[in-house]
Amino acid sequence: MSGVSGHTERYCACSRGVTWLLAALLFVPAPAWPQVEEIIVTVRKKVENLQDVPMSVTAFGVEAIQRKGIRDVADVARFTSSIQFDESFAQSDTRIVVRGLSPTRGRQNVALLVDGIDVSSEAISSSGGSLLVNTRLIDIERIEVVLGPQMALYGRSAFNGAIQYITRDPADEFETELKADVNDNRGYELVGAVSGPIFGDALGYRLNATWWDQEGFYENSVTHATLGDDKGFGLALTLKSEIGDHLSFKFRTEYTDDQSKPSPQAFLLFNTELETPQGAFDAGVAECNPAFIAALSDWDDPDNPGRGVPGNNQALLDRALRILDPAFVATLDPDTLDPDSPNFVIPAGGGAHCEERTPARVGQIPDGDDLKIALGTNPATPGKDYEGFDRELLRLSLVAEWSSDRFSVTSLSGFTRDDNTETQDTNSFGLPDENAGVFLDGNVNTFAFNNEKTTTQFSQDLRITTSFDGPVNGSLGALYWNEDVENGSKSITTQASGTHCIWSSANGILNIVGANDGCTGFTATPVAPFQAAATPFRKTSPADRETDHWSVYGNLDVELAENWTLNFEGRYNNEDVRVDGPIFLDPGASGGPGGLNPCGIFFRGCVPFDEYIAAGRFYDDAYFPWTDEDVDGNDIGVFRLEQELIDQIPLQCWEQLGTSILTSVQEGPALIETTGTQATLIAPDGTIHMVDTPVLGGGGVAVKQLDAEGRAIANPNHTDFFNPWCNDFLTKNDEWFSPKVTVEWRATDDMLFYSSWSRARKPGGFSLLTVGSSGLNRELTEFEAEKMEVWEVGGNTAWLDNTVIVNGSLFFQDFTDKQALTSTLGNDGRLVSKIENAGSAEVWGAELRVEWNPISDFLRGNWRLSGSYTWLDTEYTDFTVETGSPTTAAHAGNCTPTLVGTETLCTVSYTGNDLEDAPEGAFIGSAGYYYAMPSNVTAYIETDVIWQDKRFTDITNNLWTNSYWLLNLRLGIQSEYWETLFYIDNALDDDTVQFSGGGPGLGCCFILGSEIDVARTPSTKVMVDLPLFSTAYLPRPRVIGFRMSFRFGG
């Protein structure tokens, strides 16, 4: 594990201090202790005791927030047994797992609100909830976590719960606050606040300023720079006025400016080779061509003499060894790993191979101490890490309420603007290599994530609530919510080691490889300089989304009898979504706006090296609408413009890029010679254009202009760097009703039992995950709604004169139409990725929360003990997808050949598997010892105990995180006006990996199917296939720190 600060000496010294203080406290007398403190919440849009709420609720007051150091939603999840917080693809790929349901794709399963205003969002270029999900919490009074569907109460995003932040109100009297937090890993936080009334009692104000700077806990072994550094500042101003006894206003504005370096994650080396199921071969999805393997070998095949490439065996073996776990390699037959042996077998991680096996990472993820962080550097800033994210956030809100004895009217207005940039190495795979020079990273492929995004939200909620004396009460409201996300992508996927890379062999020596011999599939040449050179030519491509939502909602409480209440609630929703993105001039071209291919577009056939040089180091352009054949396929000896290809160019591309299209029709990747004659081109609107005709050369390609040395001149427009595109948009409307029915029984004053049924729905929309490679295609990006029905029974009880609280619930969740990634045929007959609603799952669960505040003192002090436990039993009951990927079939371990159109694909099944990211058990416990001292001073010791069971990281259940225990300790002294607190987070320095990310191995291990490699004409049955890689996010190590706060006035 790289870069963890040492804590041993400081830890021992602090431990001795704690021991001495504990001993001293035992000899001071202590008074009696009160009952469990009443917790006031507003989860049902009214002020009430938490024990009176018929649903599963967890609440954190300002004292708990400050002592536990809760600063974001990740911390909220850490102290809530039914919630987990994960990152995956990128820092914006944030995922909140609620009661076992992980938002693997699409909108989050939980709503996020600030003072009742919905601020939920969704990522665009990744699967998670965006950076807006995990913002810094500034000046928070209370956090309320509500579990189960709450769409009527909390709006469009509360599919399986809600997290609400309630901000602090101004003080009744003038007061100031100062807080500081310092830890042993160069972490600092300063908070200042001033509050009080102005203009007499007509207006109260509160101004808060926060600054923080936390150095990362780990280093990147490639650059030796720290990762995960987090710094920023925030300002919040609150104004509140109560006019008479009936009208109040609360205005709040908040601004934060923060930066964070990429998260520390380690690439998990492949530790097995998964066998492709026979069904994949029967379907033609997987193929094995021995002639291709022979072409790669450096020993002569008797059937193909002289075709070996010297040094390839060793090079392919070396490549495998850098991405395979050494423990796995040690289990292989040494003779098969001898590059000089006729029995040599290219390991699955080594390069192109028969598709009978794929490298994979399976089993339990190792602890952090056993992992190495090696992230790729940013080619745009040679030798330096990617910057991570830089964000500015502005929020405005106005909450107005008028109340009378029988009615109250509440208005909630909100505005949010978030501007952020995010860059990182999304494959988390760096390869230090002296041949890379100043770039440091010798990778032959890269996947550079580079997005600039502006998100604006506006919402208006208006609600009327009754408070009659009779048996019937209720509320009625309406919400308008709009979000506009403008996302400009400059991400680049660079593939220099594809099997069409003919400018270098596996061992880095230039070779002339015949088209019929296949290509090497790998080059040792670092690609960073090529990416750096191409970056200026990468136009920003859009991936925008606008959501326009309105809904009406209400609830009705009916007292059926003295102790029985029936509650109906529901929300009718209407939502319009528009997405904007690129479409390609050539719909059949492979590679998106950011696909950089020094070796040519993925699906081009291999060409000899000398032909590549003669073409100006570019192969023919991705879009070249000329042919030397007539409509019947006969050779005519001259170029003819294919009007059929011109007609395929989308109309909006003509409208946006008409001049550029005409230019690209007669310009190739290299400057070309023309005949002096012109051809007729008819645009979709009927306009006739005349374009120059290229000179036909040998092999049916255009004759290039040559320089003084007789070589082709590369086109300064670099038309072969990126696939030409223009903008398009899609729209979708969805409407649905989300009902909930609850029956509650007040058995005694201290016992409330309830039973509920609800139906939740996440609306359909468009996934923009694949828009960069496949373009904005409705068939590929559109998905339908996910649905869930939930049955729940529970109770809130108090015992022993309110000194013991026991709350619990049992629930069953029936989840259908889960989004999944499948395969379908593209416009050109090749297989492409598609989002479909394919999965169904069931979740049985139970939650238990116990609090105990003993009346009698113990060890001369008083105690608070609490614990929360969540049990889950999850299963996919029906989950099958269609795929053309042998890798997917190998990971699933099954394949049933299925005819889809004219192609036979694999239907793979995950039915019976556990849900990903769902622990079977999770426990949060805390114990506090409090000792009252003279002058209203209290000394205390608090501890948190956190346990979480193992979790599968994906739907295959092949990889999982281990269970773990965390122990936090706090020792403090508090008075009415000041508090000092010494803390140790993760006191036992547990380094268990708590969550994992991953995806297609674009950067580490790019491989193409063998049939494509051998044949000059690409097969339509075998698509580009990538091993699925996984990364481990390293946990925070032990942190020792000190917090103190002072309050003046009040």
Report which of residues 887 and 373 the model is more confident about: 373
Long-range contact pairs involving 209-214 (C-beta distance under 8 Å, separation at least 24): 209/233, 209/234, 209/235, 210/136, 210/138, 210/139, 210/234, 210/235, 210/236, 212/136, 212/187, 212/188, 213/186, 213/187, 213/188, 213/189, 214/183, 214/185, 214/186, 214/187, 214/188, 214/189
Q: How confident is the model at residue 635 (pLDDT cuts 50, 70, 90)?
A: confident
How high is the pLDDT of residue 460?
98
Are 755 and 56 in contact, with CB atoms under 8 Å apart? no
Are 56 and 147 in contact, with CB atoms under 8 Å apart? yes
pLDDT at residue 881 greater than cutoff 60:
yes
User: 177-191, 612-626, 657-671: which range is least confident on average?
Assistant: 612-626
* Strand blocks (E) in 585-653: 595-596, 626-629, 635-641
Q: How confident is the model at residue 417 (pLDDT cuts 50, 70, 90)?
A: very high
How high is the pLDDT of residue 569?
96
pLDDT at residue 61 greater than cutoff 50:
yes
Rg (CA), the chain: 32
Share above pLDDT 90 across residues of the chain, in percent, rounded to a whole number: 50
Angstrom CA distances, 551 to 108, 480, 554, 573, 735, stand at 19, 7, 10, 4, 9
Tens-digit pLDDT profile for residues 824-857: 555 444 455 667 777 899 999 999 999 999 877 7
Q: Give the C-alpha separation, 88 to 126, whole Å.
A: 9
Angstrom CA distances, 909 to 362, 834, 994, stand at 18, 17, 27
Give the mean pLDDT of 928-952: 96
Query: For residue 577, which of 768, 739, 407 has the smallest C-alpha distance?
Result: 768
Report which of residues 629 and 326 the model is more confident about: 326
Q: How confident is the model at residue 656 (pLDDT cuts 50, 70, 90)?
A: confident
Give the mean pLDDT of 977-987: 97
Are 208 and 215 in contact, with CB atoms under 8 Å apart? no
Give the mean pLDDT of 759-784: 82
> Is 41-269+370-589+724-1013+1043-1049 CATH 2.40.170.20?
yes
pLDDT at residue 305 greater than cutoff 80:
no
Report which of residues 965 and 322 the model is more confident about: 965
Tens-digit pLDDT profile for residues 730-766: 999 999 999 999 999 999 999 999 999 999 998 888 8
How high is the pLDDT of residue 892?
94
Are 367 and 307 in contact, with CB atoms under 8 Å apart? no
How high is the pLDDT of residue 524?
62
Tens-digit pLDDT profile for residues 118-129: 999 988 877 777
Q: Which residues on adjacent β-strands are paired with residue 190?
A: 180, 211
Report which of residues 539 and 894 the model is more confident about: 894
pLDDT at residue 874 greater than cutoff 70:
yes
Backbone angles phi, psi at 132, to 5 degrees: -65, -20
Give the mean pLDDT of 202-211: 96
Q: How confident is the model at residue 359 (pLDDT cuts 50, 70, 90)?
A: confident
Cα 440 from chain centroid (whole Å): 28
User: 288-302, 742-756, 897-911: which range is least confident on average?
Assistant: 288-302
User: 168-177, 418-427, 963-972: which range is least confident on average?
Assistant: 418-427
How high is the pLDDT of residue 916?
92
CB proximity list for 868: less than 8 A, separation 6 or greater = 58, 80, 81, 847, 848, 849, 850, 923, 924, 925
How high is the pLDDT of residue 103?
84
Are 753 and 794 in contact, with CB atoms under 8 Å apart? yes
Report which of residues 372 and 700 the model is more confident about: 372
How high is the pLDDT of residue 55?
94
Other beta carbons within 10 angstroms of residue 225's beta carbon come to 16
The predicted model scores a pTM of 0.86
Q: How confident is the model at residue 183 (pLDDT cuts 50, 70, 90)?
A: very high
Place of tokens 């492979």: 590
How high is the pLDDT of residue 396?
98
User: 561-575, 831-845, 1006-1020: which range is least confident on average?
Assistant: 1006-1020
How high is the pLDDT of residue 36?
63
Tens-digit pLDDT profile for residues 207-253: 999 999 999 999 999 999 999 999 999 999 999 999 888 999 999 99
Cα 221 from chain centroid (whole Å): 24
pLDDT at residue 12 greater than cutoff 70:
no
pLDDT at residue 171 greater than cutoff 90:
yes
Q: How confident is the model at residue 887 (pLDDT cuts 50, 70, 90)?
A: confident
